[in-house]
Structure 1
């Protein structure tokens, strides 16, 4: 008998309805088991309260020579399955977040924020922790287009820049929770000075919309802020990329982008010649 990836589990699932009640009990255990453990006929029979003879008949009914051959293939399969499941979990979560970002994009809002940035004399990006890392990316992206922009992730500097803000300043605040104390304090100071406020957050609360000029909503998942498996910056950077695309479509900034790329290209050529 030839085996391929996931053959054992697919085999059990396809045969499940044709099995006896005892055999279904055995199949159910192996289909839902995710632990790599000792699975001798004695251990499994004691665990499931079935006879070892029932395990042998079950294995043969599923197309194997006996329970030992079944277990040999099953253990290879479950080890591979667990590795693939972990990878798939990460990829699928990123895909779900990306799909959610797509659904949450407000085109008119993006145009409005892009023009808000072009009409400003100064842009400050506030973010703490992982949001601060995302803020640095925002700074680098828009700086290349000639925007007067600065990113800060220190609570004291946030307050200082907020106190220097005026009606010609745009503040981009990044906070997944929308509750970061240092960010909210800085926004309160900047707003009192007449600055325009753009918040990127997953918190869709009236409190934020009451003092922010624009709230760009991003999707989230449980414990995203912890950043254990999924980068908490991911949905932020997706929305920033969308905003960036709207921004460079404003003619004057598209030309600045091309000028920047040309300068970098010429510098690379000179380095090669040297």
Structure 2
């Protein structure tokens, strides 16, 4: 039954928006949501009838519609009826791409604004200082946060930082158990609750390593173990129905940190960048010559 509902929501955008907004709803609003999610018939959806049917006020229906991303109940019902007709007919009309372009643009703008509200420039200076004095740096992340960890490694390694991204759950635990004083651990978890990441922070701190936690939602007990907690923005149900990368806010903070870190002692770091770039290009050139000679570049 759960799978069939998932298929329906894929075809019915309005129901998808209701489901996406449920985590922020009150108990009364959940009652309204369940009604519209389970309904499959076109009927009288007037606010007067639905409020009487569900024993809620018309004002509550309006608040519910706004939580689902609509201006009001009337706009919600217009979209709901349209999608319900398409769902019953087994057809889905092609959406206007410009509408989604505007939604994505708006989402990123809001996320950027929230991110810069959280930015603490003094903290960026302190973190850059930790990068400078640390003998080795380990960046832990899983899933999409693991992709961010690998991006961090790629960028900072090119300018001379001894940094390793660790993205496998078991390897994260083993790495944390081997870190030492004068080493730095950067743990990334947008939710702040990834069990392996939280545990790695505890282990690394017990080994006297410095720890930076990049997250949108640090639990107090985890934050207390960290030398720095770099807060990033995460807007729940932002433009519900539109999918954007939640890791975007972390990448923005890393861009700021990278720019500041590179600007200090820029000559040395620029030289390291040239050396790494030259090494990459040299390997590529050698491989191409081997191919021309008919040799295996491996």
Please give the TM-score of this superposition, normalised by the length of structure 2: 0.60
Q: Judge conservation of contact 2:188–2:213 (CA < 8 Å) in 1.
A: yes
User: What is the aligned residue count?
Assistant: 205
Identify if the C-alpha distance between structure 1 residues 30 and 162 changes in structure 2 by more than 3 Å, giving closer, same or farther: closer
Q: Deviations over 1:75-119 (max 9, x none)?
A: xxxx89854322211111011111222222211111111110111
Q: Take 1:243 and 1:30, find their aligned partners in 2: how far apart are those partners?
A: 43
Correspondence for 1:156: 170
Q: Deviations over 1:222-264 (max 9, x none)?
A: 158xx97111221111111111111111213243224434555
Correspondence for 1:134: 148
State whether structure 2 residue 223 is matched by structure 1 residue 209.
yes
Q: Judge conservation of contact 1:248–1:257 (CA < 8 Å) in 2.
A: no
Correspondence for 1:260: 276
Q: Judge conservation of contact 1:120–1:169 (CA < 8 Å) in 2.
A: yes
Q: Deviations over 1:183-203 (max 9, x none)?
A: 111111110000000011001
Identify if the C-alpha distance between structure 1 residues 29 and 233 changes in structure 2 by more than 3 Å, giving closer, same or farther: closer
1:1-274 matches, within 5 Å, as: 33-34=78-79, 82-222=96-236, 229-251=243-265, 252-261=268-277
Identify if the C-alpha distance between structure 1 residues 129 and 270 changes in structure 2 by more than 3 Å, giving closer, same or farther: closer
Q: Tell me, what secondary structure is at the counterpart of 2:224?
A: helix
Unaligned runs of 5+ residues in structure 1 are 1-27, 38-78
4+ residue stretches of structure 1 with deviation over 3 A?
Answer: 28-37, 79-83, 258-274
Q: Tell me, what secondary structure is at the counterpart of 1:211?
A: coil
Correspondence for 1:20: none
Q: Deviations over 1:5-31 (max 9, x none)?
A: xxxxxxxxxxxxxxxxxxxxxxx9799
Q: Judge conservation of contact 2:198–2:222 (CA < 8 Å) in 1.
A: no
Q: CA deviation at 1:128?
A: 1.2
Q: CA deviation at 1:34?
A: 4.1
> Over aligned residue pairs, what C-alpha RMSD do you find?
3.1
Identify if the C-alpha distance between structure 1 residues 32 and 142 changes in structure 2 by more than 3 Å, giving closer, same or farther: same
Identify if the C-alpha distance between structure 1 residues 35 and 155 changes in structure 2 by more than 3 Å, giving closer, same or farther: closer
Correspondence for 2:47: none
Deviates further, 257-266 or 159-168: 257-266
Please give the TM-score of this superposition, normalised by the length of structure 1: 0.65
Greater C-alpha radius of gyration: 1
Identify if the C-alpha distance between structure 1 residues 240 and 31 changes in structure 2 by more than 3 Å, giving closer, same or farther: closer
Q: Tell me, what secondary structure is at the counterpart of 1:191?
A: helix
Identify if the C-alpha distance between structure 1 residues 131 and 29 changes in structure 2 by more than 3 Å, giving closer, same or farther: closer
Q: Judge conservation of contact 2:232–2:250 (CA < 8 Å) in 1.
A: yes
Q: Take 2:132 and 2:76, find their aligned partners in 1: how far apart are those partners?
A: 58
